[in-house]
Amino acid sequence: MPSYGAQVLSGSTSLGEAWDGMAGNSSQNHFMLGAIDAWFTGRLAGIQQTADSVGYRHLRIAPAAVGDLTHAAGAYRTPYGQVRTDWTKKGDHVDLTVTVPPGSTAEVHVPGSGQVHNVGSGTWTFHS
């Protein structure tokens, strides 16, 4: 199988052992490829913590405005509260809204602009 989508379209009800898991001699119940949710939260929504952070106190917000995708939004509950991101791409410009919970800080990387902003708790909007 060349992708997650191909596995769904083939009628699989669990992830195969390998991308070619439908070969007939391999298991159809492996989770090793099943961490796509981390990619949605950590890359598309861009919600991460900095390397020196514990419990998401110091956030790194760096959404990936990839391919022809024009919008993504996500949230992640931390011990300090919920972090949210919402971005929309129009041509070469990106509008990004970030909500940082009380007691947290964020290093916000605005896609496509090279801009990095250090902010405290609250809701912030950025434009590239």
pLDDT reading at 126 higher than 80: yes
For the chain, the average pLDDT equals: 87
**Amino acid residing at 125:** T
Alpha carbons 108 and 28: distance in angstroms, whole number? 40
How far apart (Å, rounded) are the C-alpha atoms in residues 128 and 70?
A: 14
Report pLDDT for 85: 99
74: which 2 tokens? 């996500």
* 48-71 mean pLDDT: 95
- ∠ CA 116-84-69, rounded to 5°: 75
Q: Which fold has domain 37-127?
A: Maltose phosphorylase, domain 3 (2.60.420)
Please check the confidence at residue 1 and state whether its pLDDT lies above 60. Answer: no
Q: Over the stretch 27-38, which tens digit does the pLDDT of each residue have?
A: 555 555 567 788
Name the nearest CA neighbour of 43 among 65, 69, 71: 65
Q: What pLDDT, on a 0 to 100 scale, did the predictor assign at position 8?
A: 77
pLDDT, residue 13, reads: 72
Q: Is the dihedral of CA 102, 76, 54, 43 positive or negative?
A: negative
pTM above 0.85, yes or no: no
Percent of the chain's residues with pLDDT above 90: 64
The answer to whether the beta carbons of residues 76 and 122 sit under 8 Å apart is: no
Domain ranges of the chain: 1-34, 37-127
**26 has a pLDDT exceeding 80:** no
Average pLDDT over residues 95-113: 97
- At 60-95, the pLDDT tens digits run 999 999 889 999 999 999 999 999 999 999 998 999
